[in-house]
Amino acid sequence: MQVFTFSAEDLAANRQGLLTNRQRQMVANQVKLVRISSTLALSSVLGSMLVFVGMAVFAEQGPIPPQAIPYLAGTGLILLCIVGMFIFIGLRRLHTLRAEKISMTTGLIHLTTKRFRRGRWTGYYATIDAIRFQLASKQQFEALNEDSTYQIYFLNYPPTHLILSLEEIGLTGSKK
């Protein structure tokens, strides 16, 4: 419980399909983070496009030839569409998170790791029945037993999902 930062009260509420006030605050913090990152991404793209448009408009015989303007405009539009798509996906994920619908999965847990940035960072994952959870720390990874059956209560927030609480319900083999 301590490593995953949930209490017995949280687990009891999750079993009934409810969130505690602490968990609601956790969701609110995640929603705020998604809003800020989406706003920053959109502001960066719009700011970059304004700079390019300004350069094209005010550089009559300067570094940008007039025949390049349609290509720059097309590139800006494509960039805006790509960022817009990612913002749309983020907002859909945000809608799913705001629904606060608790999901539950039970099964044998499979633990994996993945190295990033030439081994400088490690991602820790737990998978039950094709649902993959990204764990926040090595301590969470080490707290789980691969030969055990767990029941995990979570908010569906792909690709990582937000683990609310979990409980070990059975050991099928030797302990880790």
DSSP string computed for 69-136: HHHHHHHHHHHHHHHHHHHHHHHHHHHHHHTT-EEEEEEE-EEEEEEETTTTEEEEEEEETTEEEEES
Q: Assess whether 30 and 79 both reside in one domain.
A: yes
User: Would you state the pLDDT for residue 117?
Assistant: 76
User: Would you state the pLDDT for residue 174?
Assistant: 47
User: Would you state the pLDDT for residue 64?
Assistant: 67
Question: Is 46 a domain residue?
Answer: yes
Q: What are phi and psi of 66, to 5 degrees?
A: -60, -30
Are 140 and 111 in contact by the 8 Å Cβ rule? The answer is: no
In the chain, the amino acid numbered 73 is A
pLDDT tens digits for range 78-107: 888 888 888 888 888 888 888 888 999 999
User: Would you state the pLDDT for residue 56?
Assistant: 64
Q: Assess whether 111 and 165 both reside in one domain.
A: yes
Chain centroid offset of residue 173 CA: 32
- Residues of the chain where predicted confidence (pLDDT) is lower than 70: 55-57, 59-64, 171-176
**What domain count does the chain have?**
2
User: Would you state the pLDDT for residue 62?
Assistant: 61
Q: What are phi and psi of 49, to 5 degrees?
A: -65, -40
User: Would you state the pLDDT for residue 116?
Assistant: 86
Q: Assess whether 93 and 112 both reside in one domain.
A: no
User: Would you state the pLDDT for residue 6?
Assistant: 93
* Closest among 125, 107, 108 to 116, alpha carbons compared: 125
Q: Strands 162-171 and 102-108: what pairing? A: unpaired
- Tell me what the pLDDT averaged over the chain comes to: 85
Q: Assess whether 121 and 69 both reside in one domain.
A: no
Q: Assess whether 80 and 114 both reside in one domain.
A: no
* Coil, strand or helix at 168: strand
* Coil, strand or helix at 6: coil
Per the structure, the complete domain to which residue 122 belongs is given by 102-171
